[in-house]
Structure 1
Amino acid sequence: MTIRSRRETVTFRHPFRIRGIERLLPAGAYEVITDEETIEGLTFSAYRRIATMIMVPAEGVRDSMEMLSIGSVDLANAQAADASAA
């Protein structure tokens, strides 16, 4: 089984919350890492998501970042809420 990681930057224009993270996160650009594993037994290459993490400013530690596990649906919901905020 092969695992790959994809990285992308998502930008929030407003302070936001993501389910599972107990604090309000500031607006800005965030790195999101998605780990995927191959689906074996197919005649073509296919992957399934196994983990989604976001890099956020560490709480109480200046100039440090922490990687937190989040749900991909929760991330999509936070992005939709940010896009619809006035």
Structure 2
Amino acid sequence: MLTRSTRSMVTFSNDFTIGDSTRALPAGTYEILIEEELMQSLSFEAYRRTATYLMIRGRGRNAGQTSMQMTTQDEVDHAIASDRALSETTNDSEAALSPLEDTT
């Protein structure tokens, strides 16, 4: 089965949570990793998303460590929207998702 990975970066201006997690993550730039697999038996090339991860880089005594938190695109979009709404009421900055190079 052929797979591909796409990486993008998202910057949060405020502390945030993802999904049902109660763990607040600090403001900053985070990498989003999306994994997809090629759908077989189609007359055209199409990929199906199999996983979305938020890459969390360690800080302080955990510097140098990275963890991957499984999430969904809806949860990422909700976190971005929440950050944007909070920023509009405080300092008019926005979270934004920006694509990086597509790696396959």
Return the TM-score normalized by structure 2.
Answer: 0.74
Where structure 1 has 5 or more consecutive residues not aligned to the other structure, the ranges are none
Where structure 2 has 5 or more consecutive residues not aligned to the other structure, the ranges are 90-104
Q: CA deviation at 1:40?
A: 1.4
What does 1:1-86 align with in structure 2 at a 5 Å threshold?
Answer: 1-58=1-58, 61-63=61-63, 64-85=65-86, 86=89
Structure 1 runs, 4 residues or longer, greater than 3 Å off: 57-61
Give the count of matched residue pairs: 86
How much identity, in percent, do the aligned residues show? 37
Greater relative contact order (Cα < 8 A, sep 6+): 2
Q: RMSD over aligned Cα, in angstroms?
A: 1.7
Structure that is richer in helix per residue: 2
Distance 1:61 1:37 in 2: 36
